[in-house]
Amino acid sequence: MTNQEISAVFGRIADMLEFQGANPFRIRAYRNGARRIADLRESLATIVSEPSRSLTDIEGIGKDLASKIVMLLESGSFPMLDELLAEIRPTTLALLRVPGLGPKKAALLHRELGVASLDDLRRACESQRVRVLKGFGPKTEESIMQGLDIAAAAERRTRWADADLVVAELLAHMRAVDGIRQMEIAGSYRRGCETVGDLDLLVDGSDSASVMDRLGSMPQVALVIARGDTKMSVRLNSGMQIDLRVVPTESFGAALQYFTGSKDHNVLVRRRAKQQGLKVNEWGVFRIEPDGKESYLAGRNEEEVYAAVGLPCFAPPLREARQEFEWAKTDAIPELVQLADIRGDLHMHTTATDGKSSLREMVDAARARGLEYIAITDHSQRVSMARGLNPTRLRAQWVEIERMRKEVEDIAILKGIECDILEKGGMDLPDDVLAEADWVVASIHYGQKQSAEQITDRIMGALENPHVHIIAHPTGRLINRRNPYAVDMNQVFLAAAKHGKFLELNANPARLDLHEIHCATAQQHGIPIVISTDAHSSEGLDVMRYGILQAQRGGLTPADVANTMPWQEFSKRLR
């Protein structure tokens, strides 16, 4: 098991214990352990494999958690976990995915109303039985109803970054099979969709039985749903389904194109083929002869599949039947931005507020990744839970940054701030303070349930402020957890273009905000996008690749992304 999987197990145990009303100190131990494990740079399996080392040397990991980690690594479970899972149905745990419905309230609903699933909860809300419970009320009931759709979506779809961890393990497991010539993951995962349903595994191999045997032996497999000669479906412990297809070499490219999708994209490809007297399916491209017989033309790789119908080989993130076919008509398919194009990262936090790495550690991590410039953007004072900076503390940090600038000459360090846009409008820090900053990120963290008019006015006011450079995570959404707040993005785009401001694509895989349609719209308005990590630790800088994938789905090129500029060029743009 990976660190992330073990962390998820401990987090789930904490939820179940809290659901049962267990000792708060015990619950906290599991939550702290989960957080500590998620932040580890080194694999727990590596630590356990070295006799001279002990898991208890890790801060927050005592003997009890250490023994459970060993059991998870050895068998994937331990008695206490099995007991909890036997006592609490998975459908009941799904209640915890409803935004704002924590374990205590979920337990109360379960105990008082017999709510044991999302469907039970919906019926209880519709019959207005929730509002009569102590601590709830009509507004809470309404909020739960709104959150049910998010919880249902979370049950069906997995964030791309989480699916990527599964894919890495799946491919590593399958590579042990002799005779596999080619292997790819298709579907929404390959297109880089922000959430993924099932995983489509395509294999070109000489022995389909060995391939399927190997998939069935994957430790995470909970159930073999179906198995045939060349097809197999399994369900993992997490609930995710993997559909395997073993295809011949001459059809691998056609199958990859077909199962990558999207469905709408493939409809247009097949329509174009039909107009040319051709047929396209997962087995290849075929010419329909006058006598009705079919002759094979292409299918070994995607390039020849597309070429056979007179099309370029579209990058998977573009295959959504939006603009790709129009671009192809004029030979104007964009050269999509790549991770290697990024020169700077302009949103990150340190231990001065809620970050886990110091200023020095963040600078060194950025240098190690070859960045030319960064902005240190800790929270402003309104975000009290993160120990946000008041003017005095902020200026003290800027003095520290100025000192560090003299020590390191291979990277530019901008004096920045993530300044909250207040609920009543206006910025969280005075203009004379913001005027001293090199880079001001404006964002909304509070008052997210205000009306569209109020929130839009707040963001418009920030865009009009001459000291603000960029709006961070502009819609405030959290994938599978929180819907965007009500905001008129058309007005935001117009104001950003009018005032020459940037908009952020936040690369945190829980945000990916802006989404791809907004990215494409910003491009049309000529608004420069900055892809930022919003890193809260040195390791957090690595989430940039998720933002790149989202930008690609929006059709963004390096010219559309401001932080692809070399420092000399960007510094001129900044001035």
Q: What is the mean pLDDT of residues 125-138?
A: 92
- Dihedral sign computed on CA atoms, order 389, 390, 393, 399: positive
Domain ranges in the chain are 3-156, 159-246, 252-329, 339-574
Question: Which amino acid, one-letter code, is at 419?
Answer: C
pLDDT at 334: 96
Do 159-246 and 252-329 show the same overall fold? no
Sheet strands side by side (includes 373-376)? 344-345, 373-376, 412-420, 439-443, 470-471, 502-506, 529-532
pLDDT at 21: 82
Q: CA dihedral defined by 265, 337, 540, 417, rounded to 10 degrees?
A: -120
**φ, ψ for residue 443 (rounded to 5)?**
-150, 160
How far is it between the farthest Cα atoms of the chain?
84
- What one-character-per-residue DSSP string does 541-552 give? GGGHHHHHHHHH
- Tokens 């520290």 locate to 400
Q: Above 70 in pLDDT, residue 155?
A: no
Beta bridge partner(s), residue 242 = 199, 234
Other Cβ atoms within 10 Å of 42 Cβ, number: 10
Helix, strand, coil percentages (3-state) for the chain, rounded to 5, are: 50, 15, 35
| CA pair distance 192, 393, nearest whole angstrom | 41
Q: Above 90 in pLDDT, residue 420?
A: yes
Token duo for residue 416:
């920045």
Q: Above 80 in pLDDT, residue 315?
A: yes
Indicate the DSSP class of residue 528.
P
pLDDT in tens, 376-401: 999 999 999 999 999 999 999 999 99
pLDDT in tens, 265-297: 999 999 999 999 999 999 999 999 888 899 999
- What one-character-per-residue DSSP string does 387-425 give? TPBPHHHHHHHHHHHHHHHHH--SSEEEEEEEEEB-TTS
Token duo for residue 31:
């939550």
**φ, ψ for residue 164 (rounded to 5)?**
-65, -35
Residue 218 CA, chain-centre distance (Å), reads 25
Q: Above 70 in pLDDT, residue 546?
A: yes
pLDDT at 154: 58
State how far the alpha carbon of 344 is from the alpha carbons of 47, 227, 339, 371, 530, in Å.
34, 48, 11, 5, 9
Architecture of domain 339-574: Alpha-Beta Barrel (3.20)
Share of the chain above pLDDT 70, in %: 99
| CA pair distance 337, 23, nearest whole angstrom | 50
Other Cβ atoms within 10 Å of 291 Cβ, number: 5
For helices 3-19 and 79-87, what crossing angle results, to 10°?
Answer: 50
Q: Above 70 in pLDDT, residue 404?
A: yes
pLDDT at 429: 97
CATH 1.10.150.110 fits 3-156, yes or no: yes
Other Cβ atoms within 10 Å of 312 Cβ, number: 13
- E strand or H helix at 199: strand 199-205
Other Cβ atoms within 10 Å of 93 Cβ, number: 19
Q: Which of 59, 79, 551 shows the shortest CA–CA distance to 317?
A: 551
Question: Which amino acid, one-letter code, is at 35?
Answer: R
CATH 3.30.210.10 fits 252-329, yes or no: yes
Query: What's the whole-number average pLDDT of the chain?
Result: 93
| CA pair distance 374, 362, nearest whole angstrom | 9
Q: Which of 444, 513, 530, 443 shows the shortest CA–CA distance to 479?
A: 513
Contact present, 382 and 342 (Cβ < 8 Å): no
Token duo for residue 531:
């892809």
Pick the CATH number of 159-246 from 1.20.200.10, 3.30.460.10, 3.40.50.10470, 2.20.25.90: 3.30.460.10
Token duo for residue 566:
């070399």
Token duo for residue 508:
């945190």
Q: What is the pTM of this model?
A: 0.79
- Tokens 């999708």 locate to 261
Q: What is the mean pLDDT of residues 75-80?
A: 88
